[in-house]
Structure 1
Amino acid sequence: MSKAHILVVDDEEDIRRLLREILEDEGYSVDEAQTAAEADAARRARRPDLVLLDIWMPDLDGVTLLRRWVDEGGLPFPVIMMSGHGTVETAVEATRLGAYDYLEKPLSMSKLLLTVERALEAERLQRENVGLRRRAAVVTEPVGRSLVMQRLREQIRRIAAHGSWVLFTGEPGSGKETWARYLHAHSPRRDGPFVEVGVAAIARENSAVELFGREEGGRIQYGRLEQANGGSLFLDEVADMDPETQARLASALEGGSFLRVGGAEPVTVDVRILAATHRDLAAEVRAGRFREDLFYQLHVVPVAVPPLREHPEDIPELLDFYVDHFVREEGLPFRRFSTAAQNRLRNHDWPGNIRELRNLVQRLLILGAGEEIGLEEVEAALGGEVQRPGAALPEGVTLEGPLREARERFERAYFVHQLRRAGGSVAELARRTGMERTHLYRKLRALGIDPRRGAGAED
């Protein structure tokens, strides 16, 4: 996997050749331009990760070219200016316009390589910080040591070593993006960009421009595909993509190139596609809402991300993680969850998965008081047991059948409900039900309820 792509713009052939040789020896890919016109053509053909730009050129000086690029909507890549006849005023103007640095000729190759490395690192950090600010919480690695999580980590690491495209499936809030980032971080593309596209958040009329970019009046807007070149593109909730953009994407993935909106020349990219959805894409294909060819392009390696209720043993660690996060990042007061509160949360169904747990922790830290978060406070935050609209009886309990069977169904629903409210604590359950613990254990066994395995678990 090559490092960054650098465009060298200089009217002196010897300097261009020398810079190309040195940069390629360092693992960079390099393109050359002698004039401002050639530089525009080169950046149109392929988005550079960095530009080395000379001040004096035959058709247009470098500062004017830099200003023109800035006027198009800001610099989409770092620019390092070079000159053998520059002035302090020129250097100040270039820096004011957004150039990362200004190097004087004759160039010190060691200084140039160090400046290039620092400029690329600064750009990477800025891109990551922008992405992280959009995210609710910074999770560099999936949290949890359960067998389910260990197996998924091993699976992701095996997949990461190869270049295959991956489709993550799972319920909303289960952590599909976190696993996609984890895969990217363990892949050969780890030094390349990880670019996220929230498909559902893109307006239909802007989706093609967002993904593929635009050319208009000589100006270039780079889309997410080009921004992810050399790295990974994460398409979140890909099932929400409109049909026209689906067709464009299928064509781009098939041929490895695409046209920007309004463009005439094909653009080639090298990107690993990671997609995610909470829907059944095969069913969407059968219903005619998703293209079959795009489905098979994305569905190379499927990865199912389990819901939180399938690994509740990770909940204490998740609670600690998010408490530490909100204390550190938002300055909220530290509070710890009592054992009864943790047990109650382990027995919650978590329809919103990890996102629901995160929001619950944040709410309890903001609104609560005291060092410990107790069972009653957790119950209040959960809003109690949610009843089905119009339901007068617990789920699974009916007025049909023999009295003995109806009574057994009711008792089982009653004890499961009370055990959940007790946070899995038999002592608390005995207090709530007014039963002696020995008799209570016999009753639970008779009803097939094992409190050690969670409320509602059968022997």
Structure 2
Amino acid sequence: MNSVAEKMYGSSPVFSRAVHAARMVAGTDATVLITGEPGSGKASMAREIHAASRRSQGVFRVIACAGIEEHQFGTELMATTSGATLYLDEVADLSLEAQAKLLHFLESVEARHSGFPMVRVLASTGRDLHALQLAGQFREDLYYRLHVVPLPLPPLRERADDIVLLLKQFTADLARHHGRKAPRYSVTARHLVKQYRWPGNVRELRNFCERMVILMPGAIVQPADMPLEMRRDNSTAARPGLFSLPEGGVDLFALEGDIIRQAICMSGGNRSKAARLLGLTRDTLLYRIQKHAIEL
């Protein structure tokens, strides 16, 4: 079962719990409902579960449920062979008519082979399936057939400890794939990467790494080289309002260093702009950068 998470990098507690649950269920034929935001790795987790299962040598069949027509969906179901693992991607997007076809299919494969399902079902959704069921938009009987072992995947913003690990791993993997020399990231660039909220989750981070590998092979990536939305997100997070001294006080030296790093990130690494943001001369800023041993 250790092959689960072979390509699902991460060691943060919230992610480790999901990996542990995947390892536990992989050796069974139980139906799994994988939930999570777009880009959080639902399809990758489904493939890892299949790879660690006793059906690993069989077919892994994917049906993309978003926008599929009822007759096409029925044809796809009937083409699923015995012994396969069927992965239903974004199952919440099925129409009520398609849901009825899926329910009939699940009932038929279970009835024809009691004890060992002919088809192992994995499903995923980025929507609240229970809320849809209560609203009458998803069949209750189908909901309970799919909701056997729920497996929620956390968004990347809740996996702060994994972000730099993923950044390095994706960069190395993609550099090998494209035959390029891997770029490196300055301290301020890594800080910006960690502060960004990653609305596209792991998929967005991987795309960013691929862009840097292609456009900046072997170079040192600075904040100015990074997408504008990442710099904007960081500047918004960095300046939420006036500072309030906490009851326990602060480490003023550390606070000054942090504010200087934020100014450098907001200015895209431009020292003159950073100095203006802080109301300092350029020479004074350079002195304080040296005092805090800030790497640029």
Bucket of the pairwise TM-score, normalised by the shorter protein: 0.7 to 0.9
Tell whether 2:129 aligns with 1:281: yes
Give 1:136's aligned residue.
none
**Could you say which structure has the higher strand fraction?**
1
Post-superposition offset of 1:147:
2.4
Post-superposition offset of 1:165:
0.6
Alignment check: 8 A CA contact 1:173 1:355 kept: yes
* TM-score under structure 1 length normalisation: 0.49
Amino acid at match of 2:223: L
Alignment check: 8 A CA contact 2:223 2:231 kept: no
Map 1:115-194; keep pairs closer than 5 Å: 140-194=6-60
Post-superposition offset of 1:358:
1.1
Say which is worse superposed, 144-153 or 282-291, in terms of deviation.
144-153
Post-superposition offset of 1:269:
6.6
Distance 1:421 1:236, change over 3 A: farther
Q: Deviations over 1:394-442 (max 9, x none)?
A: 9976xxxxxxxxx557xxxxx9998666569xxx9x96535899xx9xx
In structure 2, C-alpha distance between the alignment counterparts of 1:181 and 1:147, rounded to whole Å = 22
Alignment check: 8 A CA contact 1:180 1:234 kept: yes
Post-superposition offset of 1:205:
4.5
In structure 1, C-alpha distance between the alignment counterparts of 2:173 and 2:229, rounded to whole Å = 19
Post-superposition offset of 1:185:
1.9
Alignment check: 8 A CA contact 1:345 1:423 kept: no
Tell whether 2:83 aligns with 1:230: yes
Distance 1:257 1:188, change over 3 A: closer
% of aligned pairs identical?
A: 36
Q: Deviations over 1:127-176 (max 9, x none)?
A: xxxxxxxxxxxx85201122233222222111222221110111000001
Alignment check: 8 A CA contact 2:184 2:218 kept: no
Amino acid at match of 2:104: S
Partner of 2:86: helix, strand, or coil?
A: strand
In structure 1, stretches of 5+ residues that fail to align are: 1-138, 213-222, 259-267, 389-393, 398-406, 410-414, 441-459
In structure 1, C-alpha distance between the alignment counterparts of 2:63 and 2:87, rounded to whole Å = 6
Post-superposition offset of 1:290:
1.0
In structure 2, C-alpha distance between the alignment counterparts of 1:249 and 1:322, rounded to whole Å = 37
Alignment check: 8 A CA contact 1:360 1:381 kept: no
Q: Deviations over 1:165-199 (max 9, x none)?
A: 11011100000111111222222222222222211
Structural RMSD (CA):
3.7
Map 1:219-368; keep pairs closer than 5 Å: 223=79, 225-226=80-81, 229-256=82-109, 270-368=118-216
Higher relative contact order (CA 8 A, sep 6+): 2
Alignment check: 8 A CA contact 1:234 1:274 kept: yes
Alignment check: 8 A CA contact 2:192 2:231 kept: no
Distance 1:395 1:203, change over 3 A: farther
In structure 2, C-alpha distance between the alignment counterparts of 1:255 and 1:347, rounded to whole Å = 50
Post-superposition offset of 1:203:
4.1
Tell whether 2:53 aligns with 1:208: no
Post-superposition offset of 1:245:
1.6
Distance 1:352 1:177, change over 3 A: same
Give 1:433's aligned residue.
278
Amino acid at match of 1:170: G
Runs of 4+ in structure 1 deviating by more than 4 angstroms, as ranges, are 394-397, 415-424, 434-437
Q: Deviations over 1:56-102 (max 9, x none)?
A: xxxxxxxxxxxxxxxxxxxxxxxxxxxxxxxxxxxxxxxxxxxxxxx
Partner of 1:385: helix, strand, or coil?
A: helix
Post-superposition offset of 1:304:
0.7
Match of 2:232 among 374, 384, 395: 384
Partner of 1:168: helix, strand, or coil?
A: strand
Post-superposition offset of 1:381:
6.6
In structure 2, C-alpha distance between the alignment counterparts of 1:418 and 1:153, rounded to whole Å = 38
In structure 2, C-alpha distance between the alignment counterparts of 1:343 and 1:382, rounded to whole Å = 11
Distance 1:419 1:250, change over 3 A: farther
In structure 1, C-alpha distance between the alignment counterparts of 2:223 and 2:212, rounded to whole Å = 12
Alignment check: 8 A CA contact 1:142 1:179 kept: yes
Distance 1:423 1:160, change over 3 A: farther
